[in-house]
Amino acid sequence: MRWVLHVDLDQFIAAVEVLRRPELAGLALIVGGRGDPTERAVVSTASYEARAFGVGSGMPLRIAARKAPDAVILPVDAPAYLAASAEVMAAVRAQPGAVVQVLGWDEAFVGVDTDDPEAYARRLQHAVLERTGLHCSVGIGDTLVRAKIATGFGKPRGVFRLTAENWDDVMGERPVIELWGVGPKVSKRLVALGIRTVAELSTAPEDGLVAEFGPRMGLWYRELGQGGGSAVVDDTPWVARGHSRETTYQTDLADRAEIEQAALTLLEQVLDDVAEDGRPVIGLGLKVRYAPFTTKTFTKRIPETVDRDLVIAKARELIARIDPDRPVRLLGMRAEMALPDDAREGRAPTRGAW
C-alpha cells in the first residue's frame, strides 16, 4: 500500500544547539534574535523545558525571558540550522523507495510503498538519529493532511497512524483550530457559523461554507474536516516565488523621511536577491508593524519587469500608504517573481510569501 509519512524534527533549532553544547541538555533553552532579551526580537524556538513555562515561537523575547527567567537564551544561527537540515534530508532521501517533499528546515513528507509503515517509520527515525544525532517524530497517513496532523500525536520521538479508519474517533470532537491550515481567524469565522468541532466541519452544509469563504476555500475547509485531500508526495524541486527582507528596529521610527529611507533600503536588498535569480518582478509587498504591535500588509501587482527603477517607483506607491502619524517598529519588503517556464507548465511547486 502507498503511505504518506510526515517527518518532523523534535524542537529542531533547540536540538541543534544542544548538539553543539551538550551541557544545555535538559535546560530551558530559548533561541531568538541576537540572544539579547533587552532587544526587540521574537522566539524562533524553545526547548520542551522552556515551553513548560509558557514560552512559544513568535513570542517577544523579553516576555519569554520573564516567563522563564532562568532560561538560556541564544542567538539565531541560520547557517548551522540549514546545514543540519541538509543532513537530515539526506538521511531521509536515502531510505529505500522514499519520495521526499521537503516542507522546511525541519519537516518533510515521504511517500512510500510498504506493508508495515510503522516499521518503516522506526527505521527512518533511526537513520536520522544515527546520521545527525537528532530525534524526529513521524506521522503516518493515507493523505497529506492526515499524515501531517498525525505527527502531533506522535511527539516527541514517536510514531502515530491517522487514516480514514480512525479519523472520526481521533479528531471528530476536537476544535477546528487543531486542523492543519485552520488558524485563529478562520477558526473564529467557522465558530460564527456554528461550526466548532472537526466532525461538525466535515458535515457542514457546503452552501454556508461557500458563502463565507468562496467556492474554492469553502469546499476545501469541508474536505479538510474529513481529513481528505491529496495523497501525492511531490519531490519536484522547490522554486522560490519571491524574496523578502524585514527588520525590527530597536527604536521606533517616527520621522516620515526615516521610514521611507528604511523601506527603500530593504527594497534594495530584496532587488539584489532578485537579480541573482534573474527573473522579472511581477508584484510587491510591504509589511508594517506599528507600535506597539499592530501589523498591516500592503500588496501590489505590477507589469512584469526587470527595470529596477520602475520597481522602486511602484514600491514608493506602497510606502506612501504607511500611516504618517504612527511610529513604526518593523518594516518588511517583498518582491514576487515570475516563475520559470518549467514551473509555469506545472512541473515545479511554489511556496507563498510572509
Residues 208 and 262 in one domain: no
Would 59 be classed as within a structural domain? no
* Mean pLDDT for the stretch of residues 190-211: 96
| pLDDT tens string 205-244 | 999 999 999 999 999 999 999 999 999 999 988 778 899 9
Residues 196 and 264 in one domain: no
What is the arrangement of strands in the sheet containing 29-31, beginning at the earlier edge strand? 45-46, 29-31, 72-74
Helices marked H in 48-143: 48-51, 61-67, 78-93, 117-132
Residues 172 and 247 in one domain: no
* Domain count of the fold of the chain: 2
* Active site members: 107
Residues 259 and 310 in one domain: yes
Q: Residue for cell digits 523534535?
A: 10
Residue 46 neighbours by CB distance under 10 Å: 28
Residues 267 and 326 in one domain: yes
| pLDDT tens string 28-49 | 999 999 999 999 899 999 999 9
Residue ranges making up the domain that contains 249: 242-344
In this structure, what is the dihedral angle of CA atoms 268, 269, 275, 279, given to the nearest 10 degrees?
-90
Residues 241/350, Cβ–Cβ less than 8 Å: yes
Residues 254 and 299 in one domain: yes
Measure the CA–CA gap between 98 and 110, rounded to whole angstroms: 6
> How many Cα atoms are found within 13 Å in the side-chain-facing hemisphere of 270?
30
Please check the confidence at residue 349 and state whether its pLDDT lies above 90: no
Residues 254 and 216 in one domain: no
> Percentage helix, strand, coil, to 5, in the chain?
40, 25, 35
Burial status of residue 281 (CB atoms within 10 A of its CB: 0-12, 13-18, 19 or more)? buried
Would 36 be classed as within a structural domain? no
Residues 171/148, Cβ–Cβ less than 8 Å: no
| pLDDT tens string 256-311 | 999 999 999 999 999 999 999 899 999 999 999 999 889 999 999 999 999 999 99
